Amino acid sequence: MERKLPNLIPGADLTGSRIEQLSTPIPVIDEDRLAANIARVQAYMDGQGKAFRPHIKTHKVPALAEQQVAAGAKGINCQKVTEAEIFADAGFDDILITFNILGPEKLERLVALNEQISGLKVAADNDVTVRGLSEAFASASRPLVVLVECDTGGGRCGVQSPEAAQALAEAIVAAPSLTFGGLLTYPKAFSEEAVEVFFSSTLKLLEGKGIACPVVSNGGTPSLFEAGKVTSATEHRAGTYIYNDRAMVRSGHCSYDDCAMHILATVVSRPTEDRAVTDAGSKALTSDLLGFDDFGYVVDYPDAVITGLSEEHGVLDLSKCAPDARPQIGERIRIIPNHTCVVSNLVDHMVFHRNGVVTRVEAVAARGRVW
Amino acid sequence: MERKLPNLIPGADLTGSRIEQLSTPIPVIDEDRLAANIARVQAYMDGQGKAFRPHIKTHKVPALAEQQVAAGAKGINCQKVTEAEIFADAGFDDILITFNILGPEKLERLVALNEQISGLKVAADNDVTVRGLSEAFASASRPLVVLVECDTGGGRCGVQSPEAAQALAEAIVAAPSLTFGGLLTYPKAFSEEAVEVFFSSTLKLLEGKGIACPVVSNGGTPSLFEAGKVTSATEHRAGTYIYNDRAMVRSGHCSYDDCAMHILATVVSRPTEDRAVTDAGSKALTSDLLGFDDFGYVVDYPDAVITGLSEEHGVLDLSKCAPDARPQIGERIRIIPNHTCVVSNLVDHMVFHRNGVVTRVEAVAARGRVW
């Protein structure tokens, strides 16, 4: 028996519907907020004279990357070869993959991708990765551009010192099949000073060795509007800013009114005076806490606290809501998730609207690229 | 440009490969552990004289539900209409949806599903849901079977007292388009006594009203082997037991050797002596904590702690590992996730193996049924 997915009739069928008619739980994106987020960040980067490279992880939708590039973005940032393939096939050429690519299958696909597009770049923070890239590209028709990832305090990947960055840059320069592309970091938010010290120290060392550093790439949305303080950075990468989320509001990057993604949910149970249960569980909101104690901001009931999630249930504590202002069974509520990027990875299609009227349904083309 | 998904060539292409050849991160399922988990739980339920109804949320794969039914399961448990549709289309007839179904689109689909299969049942814990079901089925060709969900201490959905359960059962009995199907609960683990008190008290009230209660359905994996203590229950529902996970080990339900799902990951960076970074982030493990402080159990390095996840990175603290026994860059490690059910929802295909040799690749057919 062939069935249409609920509410997922892309294009004409759904366009023009009211979002109130959509079956819940469902994330929806406000077109005007989306456009304003793109424009505001691009204008800031333009004003700082920095190239801007949006990270597609937040939306995973080629049409949105096209909007970002149309606004002035220099290229895009992916995290996986399999994501980059989707965007290369969609016509993007300037793609930076900010990840250590290891293993025969990924390297084989990377070589093929580098034949397809001329603007491919990857990151490395260790010798093993550089050796693997060097060997994989030994007989490639053009060298692969490799940037050195620096840990400027973020505590994830990255070489630990300017000296180590220099050494790895030298290894890349020495590999005939590779080209040194520059430096990059995914920093701790609001640590612009530390980032600048790391970058400028490394640049000095590279200059001493006569190694040109075409790109110095900083990143992150939370303190994006401080990016100008990293004077040595030539570009900035950010993903979350396009949709924004509760964590970005907390960081001061934006307000709730700048959050383009709402999760529409329905109250399905009111077991007690103080408890509501919605159909938005971890399959709709994800269990990302990002430092919060609860699982999202309830726009319509700001005093409600989403205390627990199972896959298909969200449990709300209403005890701080006034007794006469609590959601009823069947009522629809809007939730701003803690983290939008992970929500995008849960849905095959994303619904966009303007003032509550559906404007388009986009396939989340790079969703589910787990590998 | 048409590309195959990495490692996702269902059937012959991948069957016979070693799982070490798969690109990471990737969840894989051990066939023997899977079969043993199915057999062990079914044998326990058979021994207790209770019907067993596996929850498909854990695997979302019709072929696995077929294994569960072949072992003796009575029927299956879904959480959404859109999941139940997948399994009805795959030939399953006895399907219980343990959720309050609300809203015109879901009700319309539910009516169609009840025409398709004769063994459909749903849950309700409130009058609004019962009225909606009653109206939606007013002109249906057969009545819908509705069970009353009881909150026996789980703190999610459910009526709060035997008296409330009786009242809702009476409302269902009074609705011409509905049939009262019994009671169900999703209990707090290890609260069998409270469940039994709630159920037996309600049964007494129903008996007093002359209302027959064909099914009394208990649920959950963590204290599943205590299910015999709920003497009034006629059936038990459970999902996680088929794969098991770190949370089930903690509950005492199983050992690590009973965990059928491993996430294969690659160490991509060793920025410091005490830090490793793998490619298994929240897109592979999910950020479900389930009461843990960290994000999974590293089988090969039990003293390593997965302290943080971003979408594509897992950060491991190695400080408790012996200095000469720490994972190297490029090394592959196995992780038992905190929660398997949510991992299944991230992948389009699941890979199965026996002793490391791929046996089959199954589409996770009911994945992504967000709505």
Q: Is A183 exposed, middle or buried (0-12, 13-18, 19+ CB in 10 A)?
A: buried
CA-based max dimension of chain A: 72
* C-beta atoms of B271 and A1 within 8 A: no
Residues in chain A with CB shorter than 8 Å from the CB of B286 are: 282, 286-287
pLDDT, position A326? 98
**Could you tell me which residues come within 8 angstroms of residue A324 by beta carbon, excluding any fewer than 6 positions away?**
none
- Within 10 Å of residue A131's Cβ, how many Cβ atoms? 14
What does the alpha-carbon distance between residue A217 and residue B342 come to, in Å, rounded to a whole number?
A: 34
Q: Please count the CA atoms within 13 angstroms of the CA of B264 that sit on its side-chain side.
A: 22
Instruction: Quickly state the pLDDT bin for A12 (edges 50, 70, 90).
Output: very low
Q: According to the model, what pLDDT value does residue B8 have?
A: 54
pLDDT value of position A14: 82
Q: Which two tokens stand for residue B306?
A: 């997965």
List, for residues A176-202, the tens digit of each pLDDT value.
Answer: 999 999 999 999 999 999 999 999 999
Provide CB contacts within 8 A for B67, sequence distance 6+. B34, B35, B38
CB contact under 8 A, B129 and A268: yes
Rounded to whole angstroms, the Cα distance separating B348 from A371 reads 11
Cβ neighbours of A312 in B, within 8 Å: 57, 79-80, 99
Overall average pLDDT of the B76-101 stretch: 97
The amino acid sitting at B184 is L
Per the CB < 8 Å rule, is A103 touching B330? yes
Q: For residue A271, give the nearest of B132, B151, B313 by CB distance.
A: B151
Residue at token pair 């504590």: A317
Q: Which domains does chain A have, with CATH numbers?
A: 11-28+254-363 (2.40.37.20), 31-245 (3.20.20.10)
Name which of A128, A313, A368 is nearest B329 (Cβ-Cβ): A128
Place of tokens 């007013």: B138
Task: Specify the residue for token string 């028709």.
Answer: A141
Residues of chain B neighbouring A284 (CB-CB closer than 8 A): 370
Would the pLDDT of B291 be above 90?
yes
B331-B334-B340-B342 Cα dihedral, nearest 10 degrees:
-10
Q: How far is A314 from chain B (nearest CA, A)?
A: 8
SS3 B34: helix
Pairing between β-strand A357-363 and β-strand A314-317 as defined by DSSP bridges: unpaired
Contact A38, A68 (CB under 8 A): yes
For residue B327, cis peptide bond before it (omega within 30 degrees of 0): no
pLDDT at res. B16: 85
Q: How does the average pLDDT of chain A come out, rounded?
A: 95
Token readout for B203 is 């049964």
Q: Which amino acid is at A34?
A: L
Residue B9 Cα, gap to closest chain A Cα (Å): 13
Distance CA B278, CA A103 (A): 13
**Cβ contact, residue pair B271, A82, below 8 Å:** no
SS3 state at A240: helix
For A81-134, how does the pLDDT look when each residue is reduced to its tens digit (9 = 90+)?
999 999 999 999 999 999 999 999 999 999 999 999 999 999 999 999 999 999
For the segment A66-86, the average pLDDT, to the nearest whole number, is: 97
Q: What is d(CA A228, CA B370) in angstroms, rounded to the nearest whole number?
A: 40
Q: Label residue B72 left, alpha or beta by phi (over 0 means left) and psi (-120 to 50 means alpha).
A: left
Strand B144-150 versus strand B178-185 pairing type: parallel
Sign of the alpha-carbon dihedral angle for B287, B290, B295, B299: negative
H-helix or E-strand spanning residue A220: none
- Give B7's pLDDT tier (boundaries 50, 70, 90): low
Phi and psi at residue A279, to the nearest 5°:
-90, 5
Lowest mean pLDDT among A62-66, A157-161, A304-308, B104-108: B104-108
Task: Please report where in the chains the tokens 């009111």 appear, as a residue.
Answer: A270
Contact B102 A284 (CB under 8 A): no
Q: For B165-199, what is each residue's pLDDT tens digit?
A: 999 999 999 999 999 999 999 999 999 999 999 99
Closest CA to B142 of B87, B179, B98: B179
Q: How far is A268 from chain B (nearest CA, A)?
A: 6
Contact: A287, B6; criterion CB under 8 Å:
no
User: Which residues of chain A are within 8 Å of residue B22 when distances are taken between CB atoms?
Assistant: 371
Closest by Cα among B227, B163, B162 to B190: B227
CA gap A245, B76 in Å, rounded: 37
Q: Given an 8 Å threshold on Cβ–Cβ distance, is A102 in contact with B268? A: yes
pLDDT tens digits, B270-284: 999 999 999 999 999
Q: What is residue A15's predicted lDDT score, i.e. its pLDDT?
A: 81
First CA to last CA across chain A, in angstroms?
A: 31
A7 pLDDT higher than 60: no
Q: Are the beta carbons of B157 and A105 separated by less than 8 Å? A: no
Q: Are A34 and A254 spatial neighbours (Cβ–Cβ below 8 Å)? A: no
What's the mean pLDDT in A18-39?
Answer: 96
The tokens 């590998």 sit on which residue? A371
Locate B294 and state its tokens: 């960290």
pLDDT computed for residue A4 by the predictor: 53
A160 interaction partners in chain B (CB closer than 8 Å):
271-272
| Cβ separation B371–A1 shorter than 8 A | no
pLDDT over 50 (residue B10): no
- Rounded to an integer, what is the distance from CA A93 to the centroid of its chain? 19
Take residue A13 and report the two structure tokens written for it. Answer: 């069928």
Residue A1 has pLDDT above 90, yes or no: no
- Beta carbons of B157 and A268 less than 8 Å apart: yes
Nearest of B90, B81, B130, B74 to residue B108 by alpha carbon: B81
Average pLDDT, chain B: 95
Q: Is the pLDDT of residue B1 over 90?
A: no
The predicted pLDDT at position B11 comes to 41
Bridge partners of residue A21, in order along the sequence: none
Report pLDDT for A10.
Answer: 38
Confidence category of residue B354, pLDDT binned at 50, 70, 90: very high
Q: Which residues pair with A146 in a beta bridge?
A: A122, A180
For residue B9, is pLDDT > 80?
Answer: no
Cβ atoms A198, A236 nearer than 8 A: no
**H-assigned helices in A215-316:** 246-251, 282-285
**DSSP 8-state code for residue B357:** E
Q: Is the pLDDT of residue A11 over 50?
A: no
Q: Are B187 and B224 in contact (CB under 8 A)?
A: no
Q: Give the pLDDT mean for A14-24.
A: 90
Mutate to test the interface with A, among B269, B285, B318, B343 (most CBs of A within 10 A): B269
Q: What is the DSSP secondary structure assignment for residue B324, as one 8-state letter?
A: T
Which residues of chain B does A125 touch, with a Cβ-Cβ cutoff of 8 Å? 269, 271
Say if residues B153 and B187 touch (Cβ distance below 8 Å). yes
Give the pLDDT confidence of B194-231 residue by residue, as tens digits.
999 999 999 999 999 999 999 999 999 999 999 999 99
Residues of chain B contacting A287 with CB distance shorter than 8 Å: 286-289, 342
DSSP secondary structure code for residue B20 in this structure: G
